Amino acid sequence: MTSAQVRAARGLLNWTVRDLAERASVHRNTVTNIETGRYSGSADALSAIRSAIESAGVQLIAENGGGAGVRFKK
């Protein structure tokens, strides 16, 4: 999961940093720092963020020659 994917997923969901932080049970500064690349994130924080995003219906797409991305689950 890249910082750009986190930002893009929030955009698809129309969530603020605070919304994602609350749903993932992490501090909003953690989300901001991950999104800006200042902090790569702990394994627990990244897992919680991924879970919150995926639970909301967004799929994180792995690097597949066209780049990593996000999309709504089918």
Average pLDDT of the chain to the nearest whole number: 93
How do residues 22-49 score in pLDDT, each as one tens digit? 999 999 999 999 999 999 999 999 999 9
Tokens encoding 61: 């797409």
Q: Where are the domains of the chain?
A: 3-72
Fold of 3-72: 434 Repressor (Amino-terminal Domain) (1.10.260)
Mean pLDDT of 67-73: 86
Give the model's pLDDT for residue 63.
73
Asked if pLDDT for residue 62 goes beyond 90, the answer is no
Burial class (CB in 10 A: 0-12, 13-18, 19+), 53: buried
Give the model's pLDDT for residue 74.
75
